[in-house]
Amino acid sequence: MKPAATAHPHNPWLAHAVRISRMAAATPGVFICDLVFQDSAVAEEYTFAPGQFNMLYLPGLGEIAISISSDPDQRDCISHTIREAGNVTRALGELPVGSALGLRGPFGSSWPTENCIGRDVVLVAGGIGLAPLRPAICHLLAHRERYGELNLIIGAREPSGLLYTTEFDAWRADGLNVHVTVDRANSDWHGAIGMVTNVLDRLWLRQPENTLMLTCGPEVMMWYAVQMAIRRGLSPESLYVSLERNMNCAIGLCGHCQFGPQFLCKDGPIFRYDRVASILKVDDL
């Protein structure tokens, strides 16, 4: 009665002790929280791939899944861009620098940066969907010579909802074409107005058949971005979406994050579009 088990070296329920090293307001209701490991050996060992997420734990309040938004090559801290949505994120947002919390991770699938080599890449972000794309942007720009044309389309409801605006110029200088559009403008806004799909519709694509799209944002936005990409000649096998469901354990054991046959925590959150296409538009799945 001793079934063979693929032993994982650590108890997956054990959280690492981390401390807040920086807190910054980002956009209304969104803050950036940098964390450092208490144990330098853990810090040494910890690596993540762009698109993965951590479980952040406030004892007594609970655990939440938050995508990592820092550069994967940055070793001194891990950054999370967090929208205040529930009691854990609200309490986290009020913690001062130096506060202690727990972290388990990294978990989940990552953006296909290997597949991007030698190809053009379009990144499409809606609102806070830019956060899990930021590590991919850092990685692509750190190895800029490996890739063809790089385009980033960022959409937000309002100009005040745009994340990381101070980094846009540096990204452009490093060889990323940044296109920004908002749903509703104010009098200070001089950029584009409309949806990300409008920008994608007009984007110059020199070789659609050799272009990848990575998208993260509201599910409905990703759906229309995907349809537009297919209309523009990208193949369904070259489109990647980042999905979101309730996450509880993050290790594929609790059942919460199921989406059809997928466990979002271990099979996702990032999926090749054609692998989830048949269930994406099924209501309440």
- Cβ burial, residue 271 (10 Å; 0-12/13-18/19+): buried
Q: Which helix (H) or strand (E) holds 141?
A: helix 134-142
Is 223 an interacting residue with respect to another protein (CB under 8 A)?
Answer: yes
| Torsion sign, CA atoms 40, 45, 47, 53 | negative
Spatial separation of the C-alpha atoms in residues 119 and 147, rounded to whole Å: 6
CA 206 to chain centre: 26
Query: Min. distance of Cβ 103 from another protein in angstroms?
Result: 9
Tell me the window of 54-62, 109-117, 134-142, 150-158 that interacts with another protein (CB under 8 A): 54-62
Q: Residue 90's closest CA among 127, 64, 53? A: 64
Query: Min. distance of Cβ 219 from another protein in angstroms?
Result: 10
Is 119 an interacting residue with respect to another protein (CB under 8 A)?
Answer: no
By CB under 8 A, name the one of 12, 191, 194, 233 that touches another protein.
12
Size, binding site for another protein by CB under 8 A: 56
Tell me the window of 52-60, 118-126, 155-163, 198-206 that interacts with another protein (CB under 8 A): 52-60
Is 230 an interacting residue with respect to another protein (CB under 8 A)?
Answer: yes
Please name the residue ranges forming H helices in 9-71.
Answer: 40-45
By CB under 8 A, name the one of 61, 141, 185, 276 that touches another protein.
61
Is 1 an interacting residue with respect to another protein (CB under 8 A)?
Answer: yes
Spatial separation of the C-alpha atoms in residues 160 and 108, rounded to whole Å: 30
Is 29 an interacting residue with respect to another protein (CB under 8 A)?
Answer: no
Spatial separation of the C-alpha atoms in residues 88 and 102, rounded to whole Å: 12
Q: Residue 51's closest CA among 126, 111, 104? A: 111
Tell me the window of 56-64, 71-79, 181-189, 207-215 that interacts with another protein (CB under 8 A): 56-64
Is 21 an interacting residue with respect to another protein (CB under 8 A)?
Answer: no
- Cβ burial, residue 45 (10 Å; 0-12/13-18/19+): exposed
CA 190 to chain centre: 27
Is 38 an interacting residue with respect to another protein (CB under 8 A)?
Answer: yes
Is 115 an interacting residue with respect to another protein (CB under 8 A)?
Answer: no
Query: Min. distance of Cβ 113 from another protein in angstroms?
Result: 21
Is 284 an interacting residue with respect to another protein (CB under 8 A)?
Answer: yes
Residues of this chain that interact with another protein (CB under 8 A) are 1-8, 11-17, 19, 38, 57, 59-63, 85, 100-102, 223, 227, 230, 236, 244-246, 248-249, 251-256, 258, 260-261, 263, 266, 274, 277-279, 281-285
